Amino acid sequence: MATLPLYLPLSRESRGGRAGIAGGCGSSEGAKGDRAGRGCRPDVHIPRSPRGLAGRGSLLPPEGSNAFGRVSWPHTSRPGLYATRRSGGREERSTYISGQGVLGLHSGCCSATIARVPRVFPLLRPLPRWIEPPLRALVALLSPHRWKGPLAEAGRLLASPDPPPEGSGRRLDAWLASPAWELRNAAVKLIAHWRDEARYARLLGVLGDRAEAGIARRNAAEALARLGLNTPPARAALVRALADPYWEVRSEAALALAALFPPAEDLEQALLEALLGARPRTPRRIGEDNFEVRMAHARALGHLGLSRGAFDALLALAGDDSWLVRSQAVVGIAHLVARQTEFFGEAHDRLHGVDRLSEGCVSFFVLRDVLGRVLRAVTEGPQALSAERLRALYLDPKAGWNRVRP
């Protein structure tokens, strides 16, 4: 009997033969193995498999790193590799990297499942955590044909107005664990499309996972706004997303905060720190380089701003190089002074001082139209600055601006 090393990942599904656990780490009935302490080496018995094979081995789960094990098989097999993480005594995530077959563990090291004969990879050293995302992406890149069918199915489900079909939850879980970012992104969209409340927490997980594809994180932030998820965990996740390295995530997070939550000092401070930078700066030294993110912050500060700092930041954005940012800022100023009337007089003077011949006012008539409407409302007084009237004047980056809106 050949003894071959095997990387043992976590699996939430139970297929094929079950593997019981014997030794000092408990049994397959519960999480006793997790409580048995670190350094335990349970034997893993695999009494049967879909091909009637049997094996015996031991699991070596080092705390805080990837977990490896050794399994003895009465046959030889070609290489395969699995990657997983272990934290807090439990397996966090597993990724199937190469080869065939899945051997999964439940409740830490207390039970296992084998789907088919695994291919094992003679690798005895733990992989660093950072290597999992690029390996997962490499597998998806080298096997694009594997995802064509599921992606087509996801597209049909997104386009269908019908309720979720039977087994949709298992399908979403499988797609969220897929090596292909396109499938994980489709699963995020489907959670919002079906309003699957049981998996709203998965959206927060995707949003906060910097190893996840940027477009999936962006769609998770947008989904929170679409679903109206104004819970404390969603609030905290969106605030953290204001510092995301991908600009679309930062933009969607600011817009989602403005759509979901009322004005608050901590939200205003988070927006100002993201816009100006963590170090103390004057409002005229904007730290954000992307103009669409500055547009989103102008709108968010208009909704959520309360203090002089927010008002000064909006005045700085009203002088931005991009006419799109300036357009959002003049509406944001009016929106803020509708709540904070102590800034109304200064806002009135500054808005009337905007150069009507600047870029956007001449070559693009949309800014000229928006500015004219804001000035008329400001001239009429605070009573004319209703939220409904001002909300219609914000530009939508996802729509065109080549028409004057009614």
CA distance 34 to 36: 6
107 and 175 part of one domain: no
Exposed/middle/buried for residue 294 (C-beta within 10 Å: 0-12, 13-18, 19+): buried
Helix/strand/coil for 86 = strand
Q: Which residues contact 106 (CB under 8 A, 6 or more apart)?
A: 10, 11, 12, 14, 28, 112, 113
Task: Kindly state whether residue 218 falls inside one of the protein's structural domains.
Answer: yes
Task: Kindly state whether residue 236 falls inside one of the protein's structural domains.
Answer: yes
Give the pLDDT confidence of 314-333 residue by residue, as tens digits: 999 998 888 889 989 999 99
Exposed/middle/buried for residue 130 (C-beta within 10 Å: 0-12, 13-18, 19+): exposed
243 and 342 part of one domain: no
Question: pLDDT tier at 398 (50, 70, 90 boundaries)?
Answer: confident
pLDDT at position 58: 34
Q: How many domains does the chain have?
A: 3
Q: Is the pLDDT of residue 143 over 80?
A: no
Range of the domain at 25: 2-129
Helix/strand/coil for 267 = helix
Q: Is the pLDDT of residue 335 over 80?
A: yes
Average pLDDT, the chain: 71
Q: Is the Cβ–Cβ distance between 275 and 288 less than 8 Å?
A: yes
Q: What is the mean pLDDT of residues 110-135?
A: 49
The amino acid at residue 100 is Q
Task: Kindly state whether residue 324 falls inside one of the protein's structural domains.
Answer: yes
Task: Kindly state whether residue 255 falls inside one of the protein's structural domains.
Answer: yes
Q: End of a domain among 98, 129, 160?
A: 129
232 and 276 part of one domain: no
197 vs 83 pLDDT, higher one: 197
What kind and span of H or E run contains 180?
A: none
Q: Is the pLDDT of residue 205 over 60?
A: yes
Residue 129 CA neighbour count, 13 Å, CB half: 12
Give the pLDDT confidence of 221-236 residue by residue, as tens digits: 999 999 999 999 999 9
Q: Is the pLDDT of residue 312 over 90?
A: yes
Task: Kindly state whether residue 392 falls inside one of the protein's structural domains.
Answer: yes
Q: Is the pLDDT of residue 285 over 60?
A: yes
Q: End of a domain among 261, 283, 317?
A: 261
222 and 120 part of one domain: no
269 and 401 part of one domain: yes
Question: Can you give the CATH number for the domain in which 250 is found?
Answer: 1.25.10.10
pLDDT at position 385: 85
pLDDT at position 387: 84
pLDDT at position 148: 85
Q: Is the pLDDT of residue 76 over 50?
A: no
272 and 386 part of one domain: yes
118 and 155 part of one domain: no
Task: Kindly state whether residue 136 falls inside one of the protein's structural domains.
Answer: no
Task: Kindly state whether residue 285 falls inside one of the protein's structural domains.
Answer: yes
pLDDT at position 18: 34
Q: End of a domain among 83, 104, 129?
A: 129
Question: pLDDT tier at 311 (50, 70, 90 boundaries)?
Answer: very high
